[in-house]
Amino acid sequence: MRTSRRIGAAMLFVLVITGLAPTAAADLITDLGVIPTPFSPNGDGVFDSTAVHYVLSAEADVAVSIRDSAGVELDQHFFPAQGSGEHSLWWDGKADGSVVPDGEYVIVVEADPLGGPPEEDEVACVVDTQPPEVVDFEAVPSRFSPDADGVADSLFVFLLLDHVEPSDQIVLSVVDTSGADIASLLSDTGIDSVAIYWDGTADGGGTASDGLYIVALEARDAAGNLTEDGLLVDLDTLPPLLAAYLTDAEAGEIRVADTLALAAGRAYDRAGIVSMEISDDGESWEDLAFSMPESLPAFTARWASTVTCTTCAQTGLDETRTFSVRGRDGSPTAGGQGYVNTETTANPIITFDVVFDVAGPDHVSTVVTDDDAIYLPGETITIESTFDATGYDVTADFGMVDSEFEESAVDVTPLAGGVYRVEYTISLDNTFVPVSVAPVTVTATDGFDRSDSGVVPVSVVEGGAGGEGLVVDANSFDPTSGEDVTISSDAASEGLLVDVFNMAGVLVRMLDAEGGSSVTWDGTNQNGEFVASGVYFLWIRTGDSDTVRKVAVVK
């Protein structure tokens, strides 16, 4: 045997050869076996070959042959002078370079020792490359609603398999579209038919949320052959998801400069949109036109309706009306009407305002909040302007008040009732006349570029430079009681001039110290008449400086 056998093509190759001391056992070949069996030489990386292992009690020439179930030898391989001990080798399921057909095969090991009789042993193994076969796999209804109304409350899953062996593992589960596990339906071995219900309960308790799910099948046999399949199902207990197109999403409204408005939006539901309705009082509902154009995503409808304000047309005034929209889907329900939006459903009725902005802004009043409306450089002018509504774009023009006016410096704060607070600080470099009355225009503009304005006068005085050594001996006086005010200055070496202006910026008296350092005003105008009670400005000028002071006439 050592010289008569030839080494054939390497269909079998030795992986491990471990020499051990000869045993006292009488048998030359012991512990012959194959792992795994069955195996599947299909190139999927799972059980693609099987390991043949045996133990020799003495050194021997070894021949290993592969035979089919009828005893026909398919291939034979020779391993000369294998030492005593354990030996292992792989069979990749091929003969003459090709994978053998599925079935049972016999691996025969022949050992021919030196000085002893030859010995033969054999072991069976199974080649199996065919996974369990799906004959029928169904999940009905494909859309179900576990809401306990007695209609389509659960999902019925039916499975029929062929080529199933007792050791084959069958697993049915529910996963979401991302592959995450939701519920385990079945895990068993050797079964070829399944009929099972899923009531929507997720592992750990509670009903799974609305959405698309996959009933997933895994059937794996002992050789590692795997069959996978999946059915898409829809768990749906919600009415359509609604949205409206709003010109002002933050305010939740549609605003039009007319008595007609187009209300439009979208509705989405995997069960399809059956009907849409609109209401202006939340009680009476009218059909709403909708369509499902191909330009929109699947299951999405576009709805639209023209709404009218008849009272606006009669009065020409603005009016705000509130509208509600609801939809109905095609899900199976007890009443056969599908799911409809309500105020309490997870996808609720949508409500929005339509503002029929027929009239533009209407100015009511504009006032200065300060008592005297007289301002020096660096002082802040505060104005409150009232219009018929809030929400306008309000601006103010102080260009006649401040030579350095910048629109960005105006601060407008909306208050309740259509009132807007306007604040502006006179610049320190204002070069307008020492005392002047100037108009401030406050304008409100709506979203349709319609506007209305209010004008309020303010008095502005130029602070000027200097004032060192200047004394005004009274803040107020009563000229009818013989009181007066004296203005004096230590810096009057080149003369002292004082002009008196009223709050309207009108010059009422000119005073000249005629080379002196002081001058007195007795509360009369250029005609010698007592001026009216109020606040007056004293424009005081010396040779190289000027300043303004206030004084009150109180009678």
The answer to whether residue 226 sits within a structural domain is yes
Q: Is the pLDDT of residue 60 over 80?
A: yes
The answer to whether residue 5 sits within a structural domain is no
Domain count, the chain: 5
User: Which pLDDT score, from 0 to 100, does residue 156 have?
Assistant: 97
The answer to whether residue 328 sits within a structural domain is yes
- Same-domain status, 110 and 29: yes
Q: Identify which of 60, 70, 73 has the alpha carbon closest to the alpha carbon of residue 110.
A: 60
For the stretch 167-183, pLDDT in tens is 999 999 999 999 999 99
Contacts of 178 (CB under 8 A, 6+ apart): none
User: Which pLDDT score, from 0 to 100, does residue 13 have?
Assistant: 37
User: Which pLDDT score, from 0 to 100, does residue 316 have?
Assistant: 67
- Same-domain status, 160 and 228: yes
DSSP 158-199: EEEEES--TT-EEEEEEEETT--EEEEEEEEES--EEEEEE-
Q: Which of 356, 377, 404 finishes a domain?
A: 356
- Rounded to the nearest 5 percent, the helix, strand and coil shares of the chain are 5, 50, 45
Name residue 96's beta-bridge partners.
Answer: none
- Same-domain status, 189 and 292: no
CATH of the domain at 433: 2.60.40.1930
User: Which pLDDT score, from 0 to 100, does residue 370 have?
Assistant: 81
- Same-domain status, 224 and 252: no
pLDDT mean over 377-402? 91
User: Which pLDDT score, from 0 to 100, does residue 433 have?
Assistant: 61
- Same-domain status, 401 and 496: no
% of residues, the chain, pLDDT over 70:
91
Q: How far, in Å, CA of 339 to CA of 346, rounded?
A: 11
User: If you average pLDDT over every residue of the chain, what do you get?
Assistant: 88
Reported residue count of the chain is 555
Give residue for tokens 């190759």: 13
The answer to whether residue 526 sits within a structural domain is yes
- Same-domain status, 328 and 265: yes
The answer to whether residue 4 sits within a structural domain is no
- Same-domain status, 26 and 117: yes
Three-state SS at 539:
strand
Q: Identify which of 378, 542, 551, 550 has the alpha carbon closest to the alpha carbon of residue 468.
A: 542
- Same-domain status, 392 and 312: no
The answer to whether residue 260 sits within a structural domain is yes
CATH of the domain at 184: 2.60.40.2550
- Same-domain status, 119 and 156: no
Output 135 or 470, whichever has higher pLDDT. 135
* Lowest mean pLDDT segment, chosen from 67-81, 250-264, 454-468: 454-468
The answer to whether residue 1 sits within a structural domain is no
User: Which pLDDT score, from 0 to 100, does residue 23 have?
Assistant: 41
CATH of the domain at 505: 2.60.40.4070
Q: Which of 103, 127, 151 finishes a domain?
A: 127
- Same-domain status, 165 and 249: no
Q: In terms of residue numbers, what domain contains 215? A: 133-235
Give the other-Cβ count within 10 Å of 96's Cβ: 9
Query: Tokens standing for 448?
Result: 């349709």
Vertex 372 angle, CA 518 and 506, to 5°:
55
pLDDT mean over 23-52? 87
The answer to whether residue 217 sits within a structural domain is yes
Give the other-Cβ count within 10 Å of 232's Cβ: 11
- Same-domain status, 345 and 295: yes
For the stretch 404-434, pLDDT in tens is 999 999 999 999 999 999 999 998 888 776 5
- Same-domain status, 218 and 261: no
Q: Is the pLDDT of residue 295 over 80?
A: yes
If pLDDT is split at 50, 70 and 90, which confidence band does 20 have? very low
* Lowest mean pLDDT segment, chosen from 264-268, 304-308, 395-399, 460-464: 460-464
Query: Tokens standing for 105?
Result: 């095969």
CATH of the domain at 249: 2.60.40.650
Query: Tokens standing for 41?
Result: 């030489």
Output 71 or 545, whichever has higher pLDDT. 71
Q: Is the pLDDT of residue 503 over 90?
A: no
If pLDDT is split at 50, 70 and 90, which confidence band does 460 have? confident
Query: Tokens standing for 434?
Result: 């020492």
Q: Identify which of 325, 330, 357, 356 has the alpha carbon closest to the alpha carbon of residue 341.
A: 325
Q: How far, in Å, CA of 440 to CA of 399, rounded?
A: 8
Q: Which of 176, 204, 235 finishes a domain?
A: 235
Q: How far, in Å, CA of 31 to CA of 87, rounded?
A: 10
